[in-house]
Structure 1
Amino acid sequence: MNFFEEISHRDRVFEFLAPAASPVDVRHGPILYLEDVSVSFDGFKAINNLNLTIDDGELRCIIGPNGAGKTTMMDIITGKTRPDTGSVWFGSRHNLLTMNEPDIATLGIGRKFQKPTVFEALTVFENLELAMATDKRVLPTLTARLTGEHRDRIEEVLNLIGLAQLHHREAGILSHGQKQWLEIGMLLMQKPRLLLVDEPVAGMTEQEMERTAELLTNLAGEQSVVVVEHDMGFVRSIAKKVTVLHQGSVLAEGTMDQVSNDPKVIEVYLGEGA
């Protein structure tokens, strides 16, 4: 794929720009609400009467064995998969099941996949600049000019993700952890209200894991952050509340100490040495 094809690729998670103030009403409840959600694929029930709420500004960790429904849950929230039954609301006004993927992203839901997708031939600064562009057609993107406000926003995000000193470096020569932080920064350029982060520390060094824990903890409050992760040490370092999924529904929920001592969780997940 050449550069022009890459920057017009429709599957990039940072494709759509969220408004500066996402119009999400959380005065009367959580920012994300799933009720009795179910979906089947070829007779297999990937999500089974799932009920889940995420509060505004919360950092929530989602854990569970392979096949528990974690990825499908995120697919449903972002509009990639339509459930067979149930309700999914973003705030009290936005029924996500009536919206498509671009509209959901524009509303303020950002998703980071496990494998970082950055433009390796561009600098860190240019990646953040491209993520902020409002018109994703090739020519407007290439001819867009940065305002002082745009530069301030990029500098703010660079400092937040810890890459300010590397703003001139090509993304392709960053470490794995730095690429993960850059992609989180690209999502932050879109000013999301909810971030879905899939296995952010897979393949990271211990030092990178510590920096990632600090970053995600700092992000909570300004936005809600949902982290799907298998590394229990990392989860313990950041989690105030943990949800355990099993066979497409919530098996347990509470603090890390509560769920790690739950006999059901030990039997189906932690006891497997996960």
Structure 2
Amino acid sequence: MTESIDTRHGVILYLEDVSVSFSGYKALNNLSLAIDKGELRCLIGPNGAGKTTLMDVITGKTRPDRGSVFLGQDINLLQHDEATIARLGIGRKFQKPSVFPKQTVRDNLALAVQGNRSPWEALWYRPSSVDTDRVASLLETVALDSVAHKLAGGLSHGQKQWLEIGMLLAQEPLLLLIDEPVAGMTQQETERTAQLLQSLVPQRSVVVVEHDMVFVRSIARKVSVLHEGAVLMEGSIDEVQSDSQVREVYLGEAC
């Protein structure tokens, strides 16, 4: 049994002793992790370390064999399905951007802003001044106001990623889970993405899964290293990169 996680000091998410097995293979092995309110955390680790399974457990896609998963101090996420967890304030962005390519950038964000309405309400929906202002604010946040009129399908890869982040922000999440946001981006897009992610805290917590260590260094305030389904170590990027065990299992001497 691992040491209990102290949630008295502003923890937004904690997992304790979480294990997940698939046909005898332990994807997560007594994993414990805590994310603070307003924190930007990077998760790194080799393929098969359990990063995707961890995200799946947090969002309700996968049920663990054992363990506890809480949002804040009193919301047991294991008692809720994926849709409810999203409404509770956890947004997840996958590596491949998912936008409506035949709708404009502005309309994509407008659809996201109205996303919590029932199908009947959406049918008769007309944007209010509050919704219009909200869309304008989101366009500015993700730096897409200059292309608001363009079809989302015509955006660059980086712009599509930013648009999807904006669509998630429209739901006003407490916690954002973002998977490999800079894969396939140009250097300029990568730098802009770093600025965007850093701008999202401390208003919300952000967890980034990433393999690009240069990018991780540019944004990381704290790094958790996963290995064989558990947290191997946590610390600053310098502490992680100088750790001999981390080097052995993941980073290599070239890092």
TM-score tier, shorter chain, comes to over 0.9
For the aligned residue pairs, the C-alpha RMSD in angstroms reads 1.4
- Assess if the C-alpha contact under 8 Å between 1:197 and 1:227 holds in 2: yes
Task: Please show how residues 243-254 of structure 1 align to structure 2 within 5 Å.
Answer: 243-254=224-235
Moved more, 98-107 or 27-36: 27-36
Q: Secondary structure at the match of 1:269?
A: helix
Aligned-partner Cα distance in 2 for 1:162–1:269: 34
Please, which of 11, 15, 39 is the counterpart of residue 34 of structure 1? Answer: 15
1:151 maps to 132
Give the 4+ runs in structure 1 shifted more than 6 A: none
Q: What amino acid maps onto 1:110 in structure 2?
A: G
Task: Please show how residues 1-274 of structure 1 align to structure 2 within 5 Å.
Answer: 29-133=10-114, 134-135=116-117, 137=119, 140-271=121-252
Unpaired segments of 5 or more residues in structure 1?
Answer: 1-25
1:143 Cα deviation from its structure 2 partner: 3.4
Aligned-partner Cα distance in 2 for 1:27–1:256: 26
Q: What amino acid maps onto 1:84 in structure 2?
A: D
- Assess if the C-alpha contact under 8 Å between 1:158 and 1:167 holds in 2: yes
Aligned-partner Cα distance in 2 for 1:120–1:227: 25
> 1:151-201, CA deviations, whole angstroms, 9 ceiling, x for partnerless residues?
111111100000011111000000000000000000000000000000000
1:136 Cα deviation from its structure 2 partner: 5.1
1:252 Cα deviation from its structure 2 partner: 1.1
Aligned-partner Cα distance in 1 for 2:8–2:174: 14
1:27 Cα deviation from its structure 2 partner: 6.6
- Assess if the C-alpha contact under 8 Å between 1:161 and 1:215 holds in 2: yes
Q: Secondary structure at the match of 2:203?
A: coil
Structure 2 CA distance for partners of 1:232 and 1:128, relative to 1, 3 Å:
same
Q: Secondary structure at the match of 2:17?
A: strand
Tell me the TM-score normalised to structure 1 length. 0.88
Aligned-partner Cα distance in 2 for 1:126–1:77: 29
Aligned-partner Cα distance in 1 for 2:254–2:126: 52
Aligned-partner Cα distance in 1 for 2:125–2:147: 23
Q: Secondary structure at the match of 2:206?
A: strand
Q: Secondary structure at the match of 1:39?
A: strand
Unpaired segments of 5 or more residues in structure 2?
Answer: 1-6
